[in-house]
Amino acid sequence: MMIAASVTPGILLLPAGLLGWTAALLLSYRLSRRQRIQSGWLIGLGLAGLTWGWLHGTSLNWAQLLAGNQGLISLLAAVSFLRLVTRPDAGNGDAPPPRGRKALWRTLLGVHLFGAVINLSTIVILGDRMTTRGRLGKRRALVLSRGFAAAAYWSPFFSAMAAALTYAPGAQLGVVALAGLPMAAISLGLTARDLDPGNPSGGAPFIGYPMRFSALWIPGLLVAIVLALHLLVPGWSILAIIALSAPLLAVGILVAREGRGAWSPLKAHIEHGLAGTVNELALFLAAGVLAAGLISLTRQWGDWLPFERFGPSQASLMLLVMVGVAALGVHPIITIAVCGVWLAPLHPDPNYLAITLLMAWGIGTPANPLSGLHLMMQGRYGIDGYAFLRWNANYVLKCLGAGVVMLYLYGVLLSVSG
């Protein structure tokens, strides 16, 4: 329905939103305790804002309330189908684990590129192969977590990009993704330098993952399809194109490979794989309610705004605050929704705002001890989420410094081009 609403004017998102809430309620028994509490707080705060606005004459926007983040949810479901056909370990089961600096770079780039497309499942695939007697170790854990998180700066298949395009309406994917690549390169470079296997103080030799980059042809094909469709039908949103292309490509490749046998893994994914995304589904739905409440509330504030304009100084301050809040355990989607709604009346340059939001996600995730990435690694490999906060402290500060410099550079380019 999100795809139809994007390409056909007049189709409402409300039915899709209702289906999303129905799925979340039916699967609510699978939500973690922390997710229940966090979602409950977001919904409560959003409803409080809506109630305040309603009492002061603001009408309720049901589509905004129930389907405000439908683009993120559609992307989440669509990209999950790529796990059926994209695996970095294809045909690599007997290869010996590589060691040393070259192994670190291959593993770092591998988790970054594959994670940019198939998301958290990459961590599981690589991490399970890299464990020693069930333990991952600090250096290998940081290579996986930082390499994965850095994809948030540019990947069109990350929830980060979907959130940025949602709360910075008018932002152009090509511009935003290209602007994020330097930050991704800086992040990967800092990680490789911090964890250099040639440094004798780093401990035991680094044992990496036997990566096969030839398996990247499927993600590359999907990127080409998305860009081609965006050029052919510019009226379609990027989120709608990805939501349509990813499942169709995955199913097509699966049928070509397996023939009639394709139905079994496809059915298993529909019945169980999609259900496994319920934590993200609940969070995005709850964040949509919060955003709707904030919109209703800000209409009562008159002309008061946090800034008079949105330039490099304001973007840098917002980045610092958002990463600081992330270090307290708040998910980036929450601060992105808050800042996007709050700044909307200023009509900031959408690309500049989206770049700032992506930086907040890319830097905030390594800083967040309770992020989905760190909680998953804690549950699977026994690494405390707060250990990542300690290990990543210097890395996060360096990335913040680089991010502020980049925001000022982008601001100069924006003023020159404007």
> pLDDT tens across 281-318, in order?
888 888 888 888 887 776 665 566 777 889 999 999 99
Look at residue 150 in the predicted model and tell me its pLDDT.
97
pLDDT tens for residues 227-247?
A: 888 788 877 777 788 888 889
Q: Which residues contact 292 (CB under 8 A, 6 or more apart)?
A: 46, 49, 50, 61, 64, 65, 68
Cβ atoms of 85 and 250 within 8 Å: the answer is yes
Banded pLDDT at 408 (limits 50, 70, 90): very high
AA identity, residue 6: S
Span 324-343, average pLDDT? 88
Question: Checking phi first, is residue 59 left (phi over 0); if not, alpha (psi -120 to 50) or beta?
Answer: beta
Instruction: Report the predicted TM-score, pTM, of the whole model to 2 decimal places.
Output: 0.79
> Per-residue pLDDT tens for 165-184?
989 999 998 899 999 999 99
310 close to 346: Cβ distance less than 8 angstroms: yes
Helix axes 332-343, 312-327, angle to 10 degrees: 150
CA 383, 387, 389: angle at the middle one, nearest 5? 130
Confirm if 334 and 321 have CB atoms less than 8 A apart.
no
Q: What span, in angstroms and rounded, lies between the C-alpha atoms of 94 and 103?
A: 16
| Tokens 């290209």 -> residue | 178
3 state SS for 228-252: HHHHHCCCCCHHHHHHHHHHHHHHH
User: Quick check: 94 pLDDT over 70?
Assistant: no
> What is the rounded average pLDDT of the residues 127-154?
87
Q: Is the pLDDT of residue 406 over 70?
A: yes
In the chain, the percentage of residues whose pLDDT exceeds 90 is: 29
| pLDDT class of 8 with cuts at 50, 70, 90 | low
Distance CA 332, CA 207 (A): 32
Write down the mean pLDDT value for the chain: 84
Residue 106, both tokens: 């291959």
Tokens of 237: 């949103």
Tell me which residue range forms the domain holding 79.
2-417
Which position has the higher pLDDT, 165 or 380? 165
pLDDT of res. 414 = 86
Number of domains in the chain: 1
Report residue 404 as tokens.
Answer: 């502020």
**130, 112, 141: which is closest to 219 by C-alpha?**
112
Say if CB 61 and CB 322 are below 8 A apart.
no
Q: Per-residue confidence at 10, pLDDT binned at 50, 70, 90?
A: very low
Report the C-alpha gap between 20 and 73 in whole angstroms: 8
Please give the backbone phi and psi of residue 298, each rounded to the nearest 5 degrees, phi first: -65, -20
φ, ψ of residue 95 in degrees (nearest 5): -70, 135
HEC assignment per residue over the chain: CHHHHHHCCCCCCHHHHHHHHHHHHHCHHHCCHHHHHHHHHHHHHHHHHHHHHHHCCCCCCHHHHHHCCHHHHHHHHHHHHHHHCCCCCCCCCCCCCCEHHHHHHHHHHHHHHHHHHHCCHHHHHHHHHHCECCECCHHHHHHHHHHHHHHHHCCCCCHHHHHHHHHCCCCCHHHHHHHHHHHHHHHHHHHHHHCCCCCHHHCCCCECCCCCHHHHHHHHHHHHHHHHHHHHCCCCCHHHHHHHHHHHHHHHHHHHHHHHHHHHHHHHHHHHHHHHHHHHHHHHHHHHHHHHHHHHHHCCCCCCCCCCCCCHHHHHHHHHHHHHHHHCCCCHHHHHHHHHHHHHHHCCCHHHHHHHHHHHHHHHHHHCCCCHHHHHHHHHHCCCHHHHHHHCHHHHHHHHHHHHHHHHHHHHHHHHHC
The predicted pLDDT at position 351 comes to: 96
